[in-house]
Amino acid sequence: MLKQIAATTVVGLAVVAGGPALADGMPRGSLKDAPVCCAMPSWSGFYIGAGIGYGHLVTENNYYEPSATISSSSWKGEGGAGGLGSVVLGFDRQFREKYVAGLFVEYDWSSVEISYTNNTLTSEETFRLERSLNVGARAGFLLTPSTLLYATAGYSWAKGKSDRYFDIDPAGPSYYSGVTSVNFNGPFVGLGMETQLGRNLALHGEVRYTMFGEEVTNYQPGILTDKTEADLLSARLVLSYKFHRDEPVHHIPIK
């Protein structure tokens, strides 16, 4: 599954990098190869966007019984996957002609789900990552006047819903029942590429890795403590509208 996500993202980034020329007729190439007649619009300014993507979630379970001195730590192995939708608001600043840096706020709706079938009870137990708020920064280098390669990093707050997935023993006493929702949070890093489709439109593709911290998913004083942490690998394509793109940043010098 991880290989499929990586392969899909590579194709997406290739499409982004090979997009059409700017609407003002500017050909792709190095900055110095561009003709002097045309002024490139600045990358500086606010933008809004919406996109779709796909994610793969893996959880790690850490279980401890103080009375019996029993503990375990292992990957569950029931990796979950699903789609996601995003809206984003951001601001970029171009400086020294070839460099761009910015900040963004992003909200995701997700259907990334892990499921497990209990063979004894013949019932399916699920955990779904439903939504997340992401705040981050990005910085990159202009490969051409209209194509940006960038790295990103930030922090994510996510909420998930459990349907018996964190229950220690669904057939046992009520105090073995785990939580019905989990609020994960943790840092993320990513790599992406963006290209201008016109004076105000842009498309970017991005691969992101989010490392959620450990959260208590089942706890009974003196009986047991069950904690879960998760990692999310996601890929997304986002179409954005950039404001104030009519002001040129500079005239591209002839070589």
Kindly list the averaged pLDDT for each block of 10 residues, start to end, along the chain of length 255: 48 47 46 51 91 92 68 58 96 92 97 74 76 97 95 96 70 60 93 92 97 83 79 96 68 44
Separation between Cα atoms, residue 150 and residue 246, nearest integer Å: 23
Q: By the 8 A CB rule, do 122 and 96 touch?
A: no
DSSP 16: H
Beta strands, E only, 119-200: 123-144, 147-163, 181-196
Q: Where are the domains of the chain?
A: 2-25+40-251
> Does the domain formed by 2-25+40-251 have CATH 1.10.3720.10?
no
Q: By the 8 A CB rule, do 135 and 171 touch?
A: no
Q: By the 8 A CB rule, do 134 and 105 touch?
A: yes
Reference 228, options 119, 95, 75; nearest CA is: 75
pLDDT for 201: 94
Reference 192, options 88, 79, 83; nearest CA is: 88
pLDDT for 169: 58
